[in-house]
Amino acid sequence: MNTQTTITDDLIVTLDGPAGSGKSTVARQLAKRLGVDFLDTGAMYRGITALCLHHDVDPSTQADEALAIARQSDLQFDWQTDPPALYGQGIDLTGRLRDADVTSQVSAIAALGPVREILVDAQRKIGKAHPRLVTEGRDQGSVVFPNAQVKFYLDASAQVRAHRRAEQLRQAGKEADEKLICEQIIERDHKDSTRKDGPLICPDDAVKVDTSQMTLDQVVDHLYQAVMQRLARV
Ligand code: DC
């Protein structure tokens, strides 16, 4: 089934979960099915990182400079494009967001508490301007939108997430050591769930979905049905 709905009331749906749980793709498709906007908050952390690199600032050793850049970043999404293009300081950062240098430095940015505060604030403003929204990240239901109407937490076993990541790399023509990727995922999960600012946690009121044995379509269907059931109850 692939119906599209017209949502007229305000509706914030949050999707949190670790990398490789499939949340980005799922969130985007769910937003389409519901006919609402889609916010990729990881892109904002990546955008600040891309700006730092643009200014030759190393986020892992120059926290003060990185914070100054975050304060002056003026991140703006262009909601007319799909997915929304991201601008910072007037520069189109979209093409840089997934580059290897940005990917390898973004966790240093995500670990800076004052940078998180700036982005959490910016995300809440986006939620006000786009009150029908599927938003995806690691702290959306737990920190940014605690009153969201529907919260999901997507997970998958470390082995399955490593396999998905390896497949992505292979499809991009790169080599992938699945065992090593799995070890890195387990280590990152531990760091993410124990860090002080914005730790990765499953909110108490979130619907937890283990996507290990599910296809993308099955996950989107499952979430779509859960949102519709929730809306029918209010
Ligand atoms: O989902 P992603 O890979 O694009 O996220 C990039 C980085 O930003 C990753 O280290 C997780 C972090 N992040 C975060 O800490 N909080 C969010 N709301 C979104 C992403």
Per-residue pLDDT tens over the stretch 164-190: 989 988 998 889 999 999 998 898 888
Q: State pLDDT tens for residues 69-110.
A: 999 999 999 999 988 999 999 999 999 998 889 988 998 999
Least confident segment among 1-10, 79-88, 146-155? 1-10
Query: Structurally, how many domains does the chain consist of?
Result: 1
Full domain range(s) for residue 138:
11-233
**CATH code, 33:** 3.40.50.300
pTM above 0.85, yes or no: yes
Residue 106 CA to ligand 1 centre (angstroms): 8
**What's residue 51's pLDDT?**
98
Tell whether 61 is covered by a domain: yes
Q: Of 110, 139, 161, whose CA–CA distance to 17 is shortest?
A: 139
Residue 199 CA to ligand 1 centre (angstroms): 11
| Ligand 1 pocket, residues with Cβ under 6 angstroms | 19, 41-42, 45-46, 106-107, 110, 137-139, 198
Peptide linkage before 131 cis (omega within 30 of 0): no
**What's residue 3's pLDDT?**
58
Mean pLDDT over all residues of the chain? 92
Q: Of 213, 231, 228, whose CA–CA distance to 1 is shortest?
A: 228
Tell whether 15 is covered by a domain: yes
